[in-house]
Chains A and B, each alone.
Chain A
Amino acid sequence: MSSSPVRPDLSPPLSRLHEWVVTVDHKRLGVMYIVTGLVFFLIGGFEAAMMRWQLAWPGLDIVMPEDFNRLFTMHGTTMVFLVGMPILLGSANYLVPLMIGTRDMAFPRLNAFGFWLFFFGGALLYFSYFGAQGLYGMGSAPDVGWFAYAPLTERTFSRGHSTDYWILGLMVSGFGSIATGINLVTTILCMRCTGMRLMKMPLFVWIMLVDAILIVVAMPPLAAAQVMLLFDRSLGAHFFDVQAGGSAVLWQNLFWFFGHPEVYILILPAFAFVSEIIPVFSRKVLFGYPLMVAATVTIGFISMGVWVHHMFAIGLSPAVNTLFMASTMLIGVPTGIKMFNWVATMFGGRIRLHTPMLFSIGFLAQFLFGGLTGVMLAVVPFDWQVSDSYFVVGHFHYVLFGGLIFSIFAAIYYWFPKVSGRMLSEALGKWQFWLLLIGFNLTFGPMHVSGMLGMPRRIYTYQLDRGWEIWNLLSSIGVLFQALAIAFFIWNVIRSLQRGTPAGDDPWDAWTLEWSTTSPPPAWNFDTDPEVRSRRPLWDAKHPDDPDWKYE
């Protein structure tokens, strides 16, 4: 017998919608996460474009100063919490059960709960644009920066409810992330198919395991800090209220104890994507799998012990600064190991330069650049010179845009055929890649220069005589290229969904279990429970005379 979620009493579009709303299927939830994340990506990108327009030349007033503060706050918050997080949770949701050969996540309903908390949390945050102003006439969207430093967030300085919206929206979506993190850890540890020992898991799954553990460890301190701030603002507590004996540094410690692991929570999925894509498009096994696992776990540990590098400029003791400088540099070691292993995977391979591989190579180059400026910033005296300048903005956009977003596009071009059953256009994809590559570097490369010339981040405008004009103009021109690239992407998705080439089950001749089922996979994923003997089960099936398990 069978029962289907389709409600016969609803009209077809409504019953379709109903199917998605009530679903507990990890694949549908994954798609919902990613689509929501991409919509927020467009919103956050629009906010960034407005800021670049305002800063394109000295003395412009395209937006009001107070709107500018909202723009950079909402841009940062959106990109970290409503773009990076859902896309990482969505892709883990979609791919982990398929890659480990199971039918769904360990807690399917908790999975749906996690998604909806994220979704409504994001909606609540954006509702501030209407709600905060309409009801109290004070403020609209949050304007305290994405890390919301005390005491600016205290009621004395932030009247109205905009900061409360920031707290509540992120807290609700953070609860969702914690739920999904727990779900992922349980699924990966308990639901693997026959033969898939820990060291036979695809590296993607290993990285997502470490990522989920980091989420479970790092998100609760943020929620706790936000509750404390809410107490300050609503219940008369004084945790961060400096005039009443509170501590602004306490907020910084609590926030960055979440904030730095968060950076790795966001970038680890990028590592996961390219660790699957580069081998398939180099036609070689991933170089140094055990070392990659070790490096991932090491990054997980060290990333929880470096947060003070965000606070070098606040006047802590030299001993503390030196300790965290050392730990920050230490994290470059496992990250460097990964870089070398990806390059070694490509070395001597039969490289196919399809769009997913192009984006992966773009990731390698740009993430390397962002990582190296990160090592520069880890040096305390250098950090003192450029702290809170555009150099820092350039640095972390190379990591999160040049790194993460490029790898996300690599992943979309790679797994879209599996999710939709249709290929994305290679020609449009290459247009998108080159335009985005040019636009990205044009926007964020010059920021290192304007930062070195002393331009502080978050300023609304600047004077003509600082020598910053040309660098800001270049940055703003880059946005046009990026916007064009994103237009190509949207067009590509729409066109391919309607009349893209049918993908077949395994369009890239890949090796992990998700390619052994249909595209898109059925609700039950696999007709029979898979059994694996190596890290590349499909290789074994395609080459029975020369299987991988003989070598592993």
Chain B
Amino acid sequence: MTTHDHQRIELPAPCTGPMLCAFGITLGFAGIVTSWPVAVVGVIFALAGGVHWWRQVLPDPVEITPDITVHPTPIEPRPERVAKLTTHRAHRARVPLEIHPYSAGITGGLIGGLVMAAVALTGSWLEHGSIWFAINVMAGTAMPSIGDMSTEGLLAYDASAMMTAGTMQLVLCLFIGLLYGVIMPLLPRWPVVWGTLIIPAVWCGLMLAAMSVVNPALETHIDWTWFIGAQVAFGLVCSVWVVRAEKIDTMQHWSYLERLGMEAPGVQPEEDDE
């Protein structure tokens, strides 16, 4: 009896019975595919094994008490700690976490639209000696009749073309400005570069490819250098305007009570000390 032996350990004694019995059963079945004496031997083995097994467990199971000679090494506490998961507000967030106000996009679009118009009109005046040329060509996208005009007609003032071009410019600049306002916070690294160069480049490429389908007659009148210049001017002004606007939180991490606007202790997030 060792000092570690807190309790008496009993184990079932080894037993030949199960193996003999299994062997006998197998031989018994094998008799079907060999010959009947094999089956007879099998039944004898199975019975002998079964009786041996029976006598091992009844009336009292035969048990052995092993000599306890080996012991596991005790488990020592470990110094290392768990890195607990700290939920940062960016954990499982929908990006962007902060956005520019939509109003910044709308005003940016309007101002950008003005600058864009100024560039386009300057180009028109320098190239053709008339600011109406650019306005008429723009209106041509929506007014098929302009495609049939002579060059003199394009240089002259046309009230309906002016109305059409003005409305188009206003609506397009409002929506594209709003679009800039929404996507600026999503763009990586330098949003202004995206807004000034890459988005206008994509847009101009699309126009270049689509113009022959949209209005083949007008394709000949468009001055692509000034067109691109006007787009870049819009992009620059609008994106700078949007980026300069202060960002606001998307509220996605706010609690229901916060979103309701409740003011009570514990509802508002604590200010960080750092």
- Over the window 10-24 of chain A, the binary record of Cβ atoms lying under 8 Å from chain B Cβ atoms (1 yes, 0 no) is 000000000101111
Among B73-81, B93-101, B189-197, B236-244, which stretch is in contact with chain A? B73-81
- Over the window 127-171 of chain A, the binary record of Cβ atoms lying under 8 Å from chain B Cβ atoms (1 yes, 0 no) is 100011001000000000000000000000000010011001001
Once the chains are docked, how many angstroms separate the CA of A164 from the CA of B85? 61
Asked whether, in the complex, the Cβ of B15 is within 8 Å of the Cβ of A132, the reply is no
Which residues of chain B are within 8 angstroms of A529 by Cβ–Cβ distance? Answer: 7
Which chain B residue lies CB-closest to A523?
Answer: B66
Once the chains are docked, how many angstroms separate the CA of A544 from the CA of B22? 48
* A524 at the B interface (CB under 8 A): yes
Once the chains are docked, how many angstroms separate the CA of A524 from the CA of B18? 21
Once the chains are docked, how many angstroms separate the CA of A161 from the CA of B30? 11
Which chain A residue lies CB-closest to B63?
Answer: A3
Asked whether, in the complex, the Cβ of A103 is within 8 Å of the Cβ of B11, the reply is yes
Asked whether, in the complex, the Cβ of B18 is within 8 Å of the Cβ of A116, the reply is yes
Asked whether, in the complex, the Cβ of B65 is within 8 Å of the Cβ of A168, the reply is no
Total interface residues in chain A, CB < 8 Å: 62
* B19 at the A interface (CB under 8 A): yes
* B125 at the A interface (CB under 8 A): no
- Given known A523-B11, A528-B6, contact A22–B33 (CB-CB < 8 A): no
* B157 at the A interface (CB under 8 A): no
- Over the window 234-264 of chain B, the binary record of Cβ atoms lying under 8 Å from chain A Cβ atoms (1 yes, 0 no) is 0000000000000000000000000000000
Which residues of chain A are within 8 angstroms of B85 by Cβ–Cβ distance? Answer: 348
- What's the least CB distance linking A158 to chain B, in Å? 13
Asked whether, in the complex, the Cβ of A124 is within 8 Å of the Cβ of B26, the reply is yes
Cβ contact of B77, chosen from A22, A528, A544, cutoff 8 A: A544
Which chain B residue lies CB-closest to A520?
Answer: B70
Which residues of chain A are within 8 angstroms of B81 by Cβ–Cβ distance? Answer: 546
- What's the least CB distance linking A239 to chain B, in Å? 17
* A120 at the B interface (CB under 8 A): yes
- Given known A5-B14, A103-B9, contact A505–B19 (CB-CB < 8 A): no
* A109 at the B interface (CB under 8 A): yes
Once the chains are docked, how many angstroms separate the CA of A172 from the CA of B71? 40
- Over the window 2-40 of chain B, the binary record of Cβ atoms lying under 8 Å from chain A Cβ atoms (1 yes, 0 no) is 001111010111111111011101100110111000000
Asked whether, in the complex, the Cβ of A113 is within 8 Å of the Cβ of B30, the reply is no
* A243 at the B interface (CB under 8 A): no
Asked whether, in the complex, the Cβ of B23 is within 8 Å of the Cβ of A505, the reply is no
Which residues of chain A are within 8 angstroms of B18 by Cβ–Cβ distance? Answer: 24, 109-113, 116
Once the chains are docked, how many angstroms separate the CA of A206 from the CA of B136? 79
Cβ contact of A24, chosen from B12, B26, B68, B69, cutoff 8 A: B12
- What's the least CB distance linking A191 to chain B, in Å? 13
- Given known A117-B25, A522-B70, A527-B6, contact A135–B34 (CB-CB < 8 A): yes
* A288 at the B interface (CB under 8 A): no
- Given known A161-B33, A172-B29, A527-B6, contact A109–B71 (CB-CB < 8 A): no
Asked whether, in the complex, the Cβ of B77 is within 8 Å of the Cβ of A543, the reply is yes
Once the chains are docked, how many angstroms separate the CA of A444 from the CA of B8? 54
Cβ contact of A120, chosen from B4, B26, B78, cutoff 8 A: B26
Cβ contact of B15, chosen from A4, A22, A506, cutoff 8 A: A22
Once the chains are docked, how many angstroms separate the CA of A41 from the CA of B203? 64
Which residues of chain A are within 8 angstroms of B25 by Cβ–Cβ distance? Answer: 117, 120, 172, 175
Asked whether, in the complex, the Cβ of B11 is within 8 Å of the Cβ of A524, the reply is yes
- What's the least CB distance linking B77 to chain A, in Å? 6
Once the chains are docked, how many angstroms separate the CA of A386 from the CA of B236? 59
Which chain B residue lies CB-closest to A1?
Answer: B65
* A516 at the B interface (CB under 8 A): yes
Which chain B residue lies CB-closest to A118?
Answer: B22
Which residues of chain B are within 8 angstroms of A186 by Cβ–Cβ distance? Answer: none
- What's the least CB distance linking A377 to chain B, in Å? 36
* A420 at the B interface (CB under 8 A): no
- Given known A113-B22, A161-B33, contact A524–B68 (CB-CB < 8 A): yes
- What's the least CB distance linking A38 to chain B, in Å? 21
Cβ contact of B68, chosen from A111, A131, A522, cutoff 8 A: A522
Which residues of chain B are within 8 angstroms of A505 by Cβ–Cβ distance? Answer: 72-73
- What's the least CB distance linking B8 to chain A, in Å? 11
Cβ contact of B78, chosen from A3, A172, A542, cutoff 8 A: A542
Asked whether, in the complex, the Cβ of A104 is within 8 Å of the Cβ of B66, the reply is no
Once the chains are docked, how many angstroms separate the CA of A119 from the CA of B57? 23
Which residues of chain B are within 8 angstroms of A543 by Cβ–Cβ distance? Answer: 77-78, 82
Which chain B residue lies CB-closest to A175?
Answer: B25
Asked whether, in the complex, the Cβ of A2 is within 8 Å of the Cβ of B15, the reply is no
Cβ contact of A131, chosen from B13, B26, B33, B57, cutoff 8 A: B33
Asked whether, in the complex, the Cβ of B29 is within 8 Å of the Cβ of A171, the reply is yes
- Given known A120-B23, A135-B34, A546-B82, contact A527–B68 (CB-CB < 8 A): yes
- What's the least CB distance linking B250 to chain A, in Å? 25
- What's the least CB distance linking B271 to chain A, in Å? 30
Once the chains are docked, how many angstroms separate the CA of A522 from the CA of B70? 7
* B226 at the A interface (CB under 8 A): no
11 additional A-B pairs beyond A115-B22, A135-B34, A523-B66, beta carbons within 8 Å, are A3-B13, A25-B14, A109-B18, A110-B18, A124-B26, A124-B30, A135-B33, A165-B33, A168-B29, A176-B22, A527-B4
- 25 A-B pairs in the complex with CB atoms less than 8 angstroms apart: A3-B13, A3-B64, A21-B19, A22-B14, A22-B19, A24-B12, A108-B12, A112-B18, A113-B22, A116-B22, A127-B30, A168-B33, A348-B85, A505-B72, A516-B75, A518-B71, A522-B66, A524-B11, A527-B5, A527-B71, A527-B72, A541-B75, A542-B75, A542-B77, A543-B77
Interface residues of A (CB under 8 A from B): 1-5, 19, 21-25, 103-104, 108-113, 115-117, 119-121, 123-124, 127, 131-132, 135, 161, 164-165, 168, 171-172, 175-176, 230, 234, 348, 504-506, 509, 516-518, 522-524, 527-529, 538, 541-546
- The 9 A-B residue pairs whose C-beta atoms are closest, nearest first, are A116-B22, A113-B18, A120-B26, A112-B18, A5-B14, A22-B14, A108-B12, A161-B33, A541-B75
